[in-house]
Chains A and B, each alone.
Chain A
Amino acid sequence: MTATSVSPGRSWRQRFDTRILPVVLVTPAMVLITGLIGWPILRTLWLSFREAGLRSLTTGESDFVGLSNYAEALSDPHLRRVVLVTLVFGLLCVVGTMTLGMAAALLLNRPFPGRVFVTLAVLLPWAMPRVAAATVWKWMFNDRYGFVNWSLSNLGLDFDGYAWFVSPLPAFFAIGVVVVWQSFPFVAISLLAGLQSIPDDVIDAARIDGASAWQRLRHVTMPMLKPVLLVLIVLSTIWDFKVFDQVFVMTGGGPARSTEVLSIATYREAFTQLDFGLGSALAMLMFAILAVVTVIYIRLIKEEEEL
């Protein structure tokens, strides 16, 4: 083969390999993402400015109503309460998840017999399908035959026959337990990896300098974990604000819509009341809250992921 006979073919091939092939490889994925995520979100935005009910499902027609769906979402006392409840419940779940995750990570970072087994055991709640976890916990929170009431009564508390799901506060507590139970393993394992990446001599140096265990945690370990911690807080926020399955299975939003969070309210307005316009407005509110958090998340991990 001579150089002259090869070069035209090769240069075409090179151009294909460097310019065209990457685009070809990425296109199917981008078409899927655009069609299944990008378009629906724009369409939800469009629908949120429209009066779209049952009629629009059959005829495809809907009327422009401006911001009235948003006005309804923010003025209706129930929906306003839903937004507030979602924020408070989400934040408390994040606090619970982070606290428990951190405690578990610090524990798993200490040497003790059977540590590998404990680490595996901690992963199990994360592995469980959310619907199954909520079903099992609902059984454990059963008023008459549940394990939780029996245990609390044995501890001397008056929980005999206590009904967890007839008023919002205890119901949210029970749902929160399931959410935290399923979320803390991810936080624990990620923080454990973070802890193990801190060089021992840094901690040893602090110990030799006379720092107490608490001071070492507060002034050495925590600052070094800060990047991971921030990412995990943001991720937990995203996950805990869009909780749907656990609430749907445990209370369905009831009794009397008192345990609805934004995702449940959206689903209900859209698919039970068939008010797609209002449902879309609620979905966009949720999207707006999560978009802000997502931007923070992306900023945090940008450098690490070389974006």
Chain B
Amino acid sequence: MATITPPTTSAGRPAAGTTTSPGARRRRRKSGRALVGQIATIAGAVALVSFSVFPLLWMFITSVKPDSEILTSAPVLWPSSWQWSRYGEVIDRGFGDALVNSLIVTLTVTLLGIVVAAFAGYAFARTHVPLKRWLLLVVLATQMFPVVVMIIPLFTVMRSLGLLDNLVGLVVSYLSFTTPLAIWILRGFFRGIPVDVEEAAWVDGATRFQAMWRVVMPMAGPGIAAAAIFVFIAAWNEFLFALTFVKDEARQTLPVALQSFVGRASTDYGGIMAFSVLFTLPVVIFFLFLHTRLTDGMVAGAVKG
């Protein structure tokens, strides 16, 4: 394919000097069209970037504007002075406490979920689990189920166990949607690791578990990190369970705390946006960090929440 020279090289056909040949005219028209195409592409890209990024930018700008420049009918596009103090205030007005709750819940869920999912993911990728096909279908299908379907029975159980207004209740309920997600991602990564390395360990006398633990798991490190980040993000963003199971403001996690902050602060949009920035920031950083892995088996992995 690469050896075929394009038919329109000027060297092959010396221009006769007189009038422009039809070929040259077509070339010129074509390059004109290419230019229009390029301009249209760049215009489209600018529109796309504006649509994608502007709300985030506007959130940030609103959060650092002086109060007098927020409630204006013609928006002030660039703040005259930067009001960073709002971030400190927001942390004292509920963000700080909710952050601690969120970190406790998300880190525990991530740790437990990844351990459980790594074992299951390995078994599904490498061993003959009885009923494997069916179990995998269950894992895949349960990722799709809406939380609303599970929430009423879980609520009554949490209530009778005294786990309402308790972070333990959130951790347990979050494992329901994070475990299948992590199993699916990890199974994909384990399948990508060559069987030979594991077989070499067996030959050296390692048991299957030892080979898994000492050889396969370290090799799957990047995959485990990616799965952990996805679980972290899913738990960090979860709203419905947190809204239903935790009413006590001192125990709220960030999504619900943001919602009650909006209720308390009413028109303090600067504060609301500062809260949103702080809530969004960790996820965006993780996401940019992960972006090269985003499409690896993700269509099937259904990583959205």
Contact = CB atoms under 8 A, between A and B. Distances in A.
Contact of B148 (A26, A36, A283, A305): A283
A122 B129 contact: no
A192 B294 CA distance: 12
A119 B52 CA distance: 10
Most chain B beta-carbon contacts within 10 A, residue among A26, A47, A124, A137:
A26
A132 B239 CA distance: 11
A287 B149 contact: yes
B183 interface: yes
Nearest to B243: A248
B299 A232 contact: yes
Interface in A221-263: 228, 231-232, 235, 238-239, 241-242, 244-245, 248-249, 262-263
B127 A139 contact: no
A270 interface: yes
Contact of A150 (B73, B140, B159, B236): B73
From B42, B151, B276, B299, name the one whose CB has the most chain A CB atoms within 10 angstroms. Answer: B299
A22 B132 CA distance: 10
Interface string A118-149: 11111111111111110111011010110100
Given A37-B176, A44-B150, A248-B239, A304 B207 contact: no
Interface range for A: 35 or more
B291 interface: yes
A125 B52 contact: yes
A202 B304 CA distance: 33
B11 interface: no
21 contacts: A28-B120, A33-B179, A36-B150, A36-B154, A36-B173, A36-B179, A44-B152, A112-B45, A121-B49, A126-B304, A127-B284, A139-B59, A181-B51, A181-B52, A204-B1, A238-B144, A263-B146, A284-B149, A287-B149, A298-B140, A301-B140
Contacts of B150: 36-37, 40-41, 44
Contacts of A305: 140, 300
Given A136-B59, A145-B72, A185-B52, A190 B116 contact: no
A127 to B, nearest CB: 4
Contacts of A122: 48-49, 52
Interface stretch (B12-20, B82-90, B254-262): B254-262
Interface residues of B, number: 99
A190 B280 contact: no
Q: Which 5 A-B pairs have the closest CB atoms?
A: A36-B176, A127-B287, A29-B120, A43-B153, A17-B208
Interface in B247-305: 254-255, 258-259, 262, 269, 272-273, 276, 279-280, 283-284, 286-288, 291, 294-295, 298-300, 302, 304-305
A29 B117 contact: yes
Given A23-B129, A28-B120, A298-B137, 19 more contacts: A25-B119, A25-B122, A29-B183, A30-B120, A33-B139, A33-B142, A40-B154, A119-B291, A129-B255, A129-B280, A130-B237, A130-B255, A139-B269, A150-B74, A181-B51, A239-B304, A241-B146, A284-B149, A301-B300
Interface string B56-84: 10110010000000111111000000000
Interface string A91-120: 000000000000110010010111101111
Contacts of B74: 150
B172 interface: yes
Contact of A17 (B144, B207, B239, B258): B207
B287 A32 contact: no
B21 interface: no
Interface in A190-211: 190, 192-193, 201, 204
A32 B262 contact: no
B155 A271 contact: yes
B272 A135 contact: yes
A181 B51 CA distance: 8
B221 interface: no
A87 interface: no
Given A36-B154, A112-B41, A122-B52, A25 B280 contact: no
Interface of B: 1, 38, 41-42, 44-45, 48-49, 51-53, 55-56, 58-59, 62, 70-75, 116-117, 119-120, 122-124, 127-130, 133, 135-142, 144-156, 159-160, 172-173, 175-176, 179-180, 183, 207-209, 233, 236-237, 239-240, 243-244, 254-255, 258-259, 262, 269, 272-273, 276, 279-280, 283-284, 286-288, 291, 294-295, 298-300, 302, 304-305
A164 to B, nearest CB: 15
B156 A57 contact: yes
A119 B291 CA distance: 10
A23 B80 CA distance: 64
Nearest to B74: A150
B99 to A, nearest CB: 13
Given A37-B145, A107-B44, A127-B283, A25 B237 contact: no
B151 A270 contact: yes
B237 A131 contact: yes
Contacts of B175: 32, 36
A155 to B, nearest CB: 14
A69 interface: no
B148 A267 contact: yes
Interface string A1-43: 0000000000001000110011101101110110011011101
A192 B259 CA distance: 35
Contact of B153 (A40, A107, A271): A40
A148 B254 CA distance: 27
